[in-house]
Amino acid sequence: MVEPILFVLMSMAALAGAVTVVAARNPVYSAMGLLGTLFSVAVLYVLQLAHLVAAVQVIVYAGAVLTLFLFVIMLIGVDKEEHWEEPLRYQRSFVAGMAGVVVLMAAGLTFFTDFDWVPAAVGGTDPSRTIGTVQAIAEPMFTDWVLAFEATALLLTIAAAGAIALAHYRRRPH
């Protein structure tokens, strides 16, 4: 009984936060909307028993990424008013039309055919194994996915070095 109530509450909060990100005039409000969305999505992860991922979401996103966003907003300051006319003509209406077509196709597939978005569970695994504890996540991560793990380590190093290089960039005096 808890899951449906929390699901409705948290998905409403997530969508409200997302709308705030897009609609707010002040970038700080957008960052706060993003914070709300990230926390709500973390609760949705917990509802699906992905405990470690939810914790990492709060620590990495709400802790590190959002702080970085706020820091840059404070550094740059609130920019001058955006202008809303589109440089590419009919770009927005074109994309809205395409999105409408995609949504209608998805709705048609869901309601008028017996298309299965998530195929039936692969045999032999029991649901208790998908509870996302640290141990359960670590086992596939360091066996099947170990190459991806090493690649992300390399990626993080490169990203940190690149960010430092960009931050230390000085224009040469003419």
Partner 1 sequence: MIVGAEWYMTVAAALFLIGAFGLLLRRNALIMFMCIELMLNAVNLTLIAAGRALNDLGGQVAVFFILVVAAAEVVVGLAIIVAIFRRRTTASVDELSELRG
- Applying the rule CB under 8 A, the residues between 30 and 69 that interact with partner 1 are 30-31, 34, 37-38, 41, 44-45, 47-50, 52-53, 56-57, 60-61, 64-65, 68-69
Least separation in angstroms between residue 172's CB and partner 1 is 13
Site string for partner 1, 136-165 (x = CB under 8 A): xx-xxx--xx--xx--x--xx-xxx-xx--
- Please select the residue that binds partner 1; options are 55, 62, 99, 113, rule is CB under 8 A: 99
Cβ contacts of 141 within 8 Å, gap of 6 or more: 149
Cβ contacts of 41 within 8 Å, gap of 6 or more: 10, 14, 57
- Please select the residue that binds partner 1; options are 9, 72, 101, 134, rule is CB under 8 A: 72
Residue 76 touches partner 1, criterion: CB under 8 A? yes
Residue 132 touches partner 1, criterion: CB under 8 A? yes
- Please select the residue that binds partner 1; options are 22, 89, 90, 113, rule is CB under 8 A: 22
Residue 74 touches partner 1, criterion: CB under 8 A? no
Q: Let me know: does 31 contact 112? Beta carbons within 8 Å.
A: no
Distances (CA, A) of 173 to 41, 95, 164, 170: 48, 45, 21, 9
Which backbone phi and psi does 146 adopt, to 5 degrees? -70, -30
Least separation in angstroms between residue 45's CB and partner 1 is 6
- Of 57, 49, 54, which Cα lies nearest the Cα of 130? 49
